[in-house]
């Protein structure tokens, strides 16, 4: 059986650049899966995908010319009581069925020995027939289906309809872009398949301008990539082309001691725009550097797909890198053309910046009353007033300047009415910070406005501006409470208002504030924050138990965030009591340390038992046991152990040393085990029973201050 490499290439008009990488990966994987499903591949077959602006291709090693035969599933013929007599010999109905299947050309006794058997199915004995192996099929039959299936499963948001290239008249085909040729080679042989009205051959097109020969005639599946590179001036592999761009970007920037901006999305998009990259250096006038670098960087990246160059301090320079698709001997015309094109874009950014600064942010605030935020939550002006109310309250809780927090909240959305943000919505907040500084606002106010949309922040970041954290918390909580309260909660993978991200931002702000203030210095509590945020909305606007639901949602987000780092039992133990958000990480670490102690399993099991006993207790259980009522020595011993250990555990807990607090409990193992071995809690004497329940309540409170350790029990 012939086993060789297979190549499939679909040559098309320019594909959507932002989707090319995914299209190439899906096309290759689906063709591979289709052949694998039909047993055309060897166990060690390897897949290589190719994707350029004008082609999708896949190379697969170890592809069989004929698929492996496959066993068929046994087929039920009839109930055993119908087809077999008491001795297990075939009766007339079974004989008739077998003869019809084999056309009276087979020995029935052989069939009964080799192919026919009795099996229980659904509680009944049935006769089944095991058929021959299914014959293997030729590659050309299955390959066409695999290619068509792959094309149908491509993640294409919108398809084009165009005339079928193999038909005259009005017949059309549908695909993301018009397709012009198809290659299907098994080794050196063409596989006769037809897709999108195209018959498979071995010809493709190289680079539009720089191919050495056109068309490129592919000799074999294995020579595809090398022939395209040598004869067609095309680097077919997406990853290889991307790596070449990175290499050239770094090489072009190195002589000046600069570095290209890092942007994976831009790099993927540019890789999808060129077939053979050639990186060139361009430059614009120094005067444009007076514009905030975020504006210049964004316009160069978004509109021109250039890579701005930064100096060692991360400051934008007047040089930028162009990824060209041509490599002329004299590239000066290409560079000059790109410099000429980028100049008007930068001039627009400068014009917007200059015009925006002619009006203060304060003068724009009243205009927010005419900007709709949400049809049920009112305008941006109304929203700003809610954010201000929350910000003032939060500032008082964390010791921030209340006046500055209020001012930052008042001006926070004013840049939505500027020309620059109108052109580049991604610059919301950033431009507000620049304009606030220009207007002479306090630096903490300007920085808070600029920081308000920050998403990623380092775990150990120092909070240099409390007003920034206050504004972030106020903005996120107004959104969370408002959007949740009108019923627009996240569902499945849909979260159009980014409430999950907002919840994580609130969690991060709590952590950063605590990191800087210490546990005793942080007065902000999540319950109080949610309640205050609810109070700033008009009565009757929000529906449902928003406070409890939102609190649960925020804790669930935190638990999901921490799940990769801690076990499910530890997370369940800590989150059971909804501890303050800043303490969760330290408590989880303490529980992990406690779980490694040899005493942990026994104490966790005992704690679970204590919890169950207290839940079943009738009436209110006392808080303190009376040692005068003890009867058993084990009661006295446990009471004494608690008297010695509880103060140590409580002191460690109060100081925030949760690890020490939990580890102090290890000494309780022996007295707890002895208590349950020799003491009957539910004694007949009501007073004795009540005293023992009170002792267990003391034990339960001591053991569960840091976390519900019963959740660690197996």
Beta-carbon contacts of residue 374 (< 8 Å; ≥ 6 apart): 482, 483, 486
Residue 98: both structure tokens together: 């077998």
Q: Which pLDDT does position 521 carry in this prediction?
A: 47
What's the average pLDDT block by block, 10 residues per block, for the chain (714 residues)?
Answer: 89 95 96 91 94 97 85 81 85 82 65 79 83 70 90 88 79 90 96 93 95 95 97 97 98 96 96 97 96 96 95 96 95 96 95 97 97 96 98 94 97 97 94 97 96 71 82 97 96 91 92 66 83 95 94 95 92 93 92 92 90 87 88 92 93 92 92 91 88 91 92 84
State the DSSP H helix or E strand holding residue 587, giving kind and residue range, or none if neither. helix 584-595
How far apart are the C-alpha atoms of 578 and 603, rounded to whole Å? 22
Q: Which pLDDT does position 520 carry in this prediction?
A: 40
Secondary structure letter of residue 375 according to DSSP: T
Would the pTM of this model clear 0.95, i.e. be above it?
no
Cα-to-chain-centroid distance, residue 479: 22
Q: How many CA atoms lie within 13 A of 185 on its CB side?
A: 22
- Specify whether the CB–CB gap between 472 and 409 falls below 8 A: no
How far apart are the C-alpha atoms of 503 and 561, rounded to whole Å? 11
The bridge status of strand 278-283 relative to strand 316-324 is antiparallel
Cα three-residue angle 153-156-158, rounded to 5 degrees: 130
How far apart are the C-alpha atoms of 103 and 94, rounded to whole Å? 14
Task: Find where tokens 């069925």 sit.
Answer: 97
Q: Which pLDDT does position 519 carry in this prediction?
A: 41
Q: First-to-last CA distance in the chain?
A: 56
Q: Concatenated DSSP letters for 63-79?
A: EESBPPPBPPPPEEEEE
Cα three-residue angle 695-696-700, rounded to 5 degrees: 125
Residue 242: both structure tokens together: 């991307």
- Specify whether the CB–CB gap between 315 and 289 falls below 8 A: no
Residue 657: both structure tokens together: 């040393």
């Amino acid at each position: 059986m012939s086993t060789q490499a297979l190549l499939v290439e679909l040559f098309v008009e320019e594909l959507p650049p932002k989707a090319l990488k995914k299209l190439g990966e899906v096309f290759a994987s689906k063709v591979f899966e289709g052949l694998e499903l039909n047993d055309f591949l060897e166990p060690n077959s390897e897949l290589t995908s190719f994707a350029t602006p004008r082609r999708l291709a896949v190379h697969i090693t170890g592809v069989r010319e004929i698929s492996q035969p496959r066993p068929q599933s046994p087929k039920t013929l009839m109930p055993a009581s119908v087809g077999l007599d008491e001795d297990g010999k075939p009766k007339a109905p079974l004989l008739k069925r077998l003869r019809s299947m084999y056309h009276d050309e087979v020995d029935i006794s052989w069939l009964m020995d080799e192919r026919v058997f009795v099996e229980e199915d659904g509680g009944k004995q049935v006769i089944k027939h095991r058929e021959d192996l299914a014959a293997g099929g030729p590659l050309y039959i299955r390959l066409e289906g695999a290619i068509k299936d792959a094309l149908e499963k491509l993640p294409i948001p919108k398809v084009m309809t165009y005339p079928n290239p193999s038909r005259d008249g009005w017949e059309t085909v549908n695909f993301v872009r018009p397709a012009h040729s198809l290659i299907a080679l098994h080794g050196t042989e063409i596989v006769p398949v037809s897709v999108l009205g195209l018959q498979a051959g071995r010809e493709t097109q190289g680079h539009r301008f720089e191919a050495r020969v056109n068309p490129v005639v592919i000799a074999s599946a294995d020579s595809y990539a090398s022939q395209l590179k040598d004869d067609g001036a095309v680097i077919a592999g997406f990853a290889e082309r991307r790596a070449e761009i990175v290499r050239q970007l770094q090489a072009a920037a190195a002589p000046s001691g600069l570095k290209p901006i890092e942007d994976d999305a831009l790099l993927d998009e540019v890789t999808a725009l060129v077939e053979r990259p050639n990186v060139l250096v361009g430059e614009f006038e120094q005067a444009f550097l007076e514009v905030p670098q975020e504006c210049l960087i964004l316009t160069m990246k978004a509109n021109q797909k250039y890579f701005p160059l930064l100096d060692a301090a991360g400051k934008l320079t007047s040089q930028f890198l162009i990824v060209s698709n041509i490599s002329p001997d004299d590239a000066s015309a290409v560079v000059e053309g790109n410099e000429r094109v980028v100049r008007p874009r930068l001039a627009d950014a400068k014009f917007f910046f200059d015009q925006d600064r002619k009006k203060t942010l304060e003068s724009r605030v009243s205009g927010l009353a005419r900007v709709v935020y949400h049809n049920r939550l009112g305008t941006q002006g109304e929203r700003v007033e809610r954010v201000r109310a929350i910000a003032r309250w939060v500032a008082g809780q964390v010791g921030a300047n209340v006046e500055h927090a209020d001012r930052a909240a008042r001006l926070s959305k004013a840049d939505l009415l500027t020309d620059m943000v109108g052109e580049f919505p991604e610059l919301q907040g950033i431009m507000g910070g620049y304009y606030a500084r220009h207007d002479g606002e306090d630096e903490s106010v300007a920085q808070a406005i600029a920081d308000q949309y920050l998403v990623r922040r380092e775990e150990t970041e120092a909070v240099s501006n409390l007003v920034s954290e206050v504004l972030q918390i106020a903005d996120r909580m107004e959104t969370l409470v408002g959007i949740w309260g009108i019923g627009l909660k996240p569902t499945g993978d849909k979260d159009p208002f980014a409430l999950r991200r907002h919840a994580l931002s609130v969690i991060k702000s709590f952590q950063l504030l605590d990191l800087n203030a210490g546990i005793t210095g942080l007065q902000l509590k999540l319950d109080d924050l949610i309640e205050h945020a609810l109070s700033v909305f008009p009565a009757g606007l929000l529906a449902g138990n928003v406070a409890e639901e939102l609190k649960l949602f925020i804790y669930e987000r935190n638990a999901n965030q921490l799940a990769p780092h801690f076990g499910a039992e530890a997370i369940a133990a800590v989150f059971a009591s909804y501890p303050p958000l800043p303490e969760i990480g330290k408590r989880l670490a303490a529980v992990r340390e406690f779980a490694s102690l040899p005493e942990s399993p026994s104490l966790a099991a005992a704690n679970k038992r204590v919890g169950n006993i207290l839940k079943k207790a009738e009436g209110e259980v006392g808080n303190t046991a009376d040692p005068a009522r003890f009867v058993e020595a084990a009661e006295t011993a446990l009471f004494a152990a608690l008297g010695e250990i509880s103060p140590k555990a409580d002191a460690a807990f109060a100081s925030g040393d949760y690890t020490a607090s939990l580890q102090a409990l290890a000494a309780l193992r022996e007295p707890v085990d002895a208590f349950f071995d020799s003491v009957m809690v539910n004694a007949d004497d009501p007073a004795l029973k009540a005293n023992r329940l009170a002792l267990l309540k003391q034990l339960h409170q001591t053991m569960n201050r840091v976390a519900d350790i019963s959740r660690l029990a197996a």
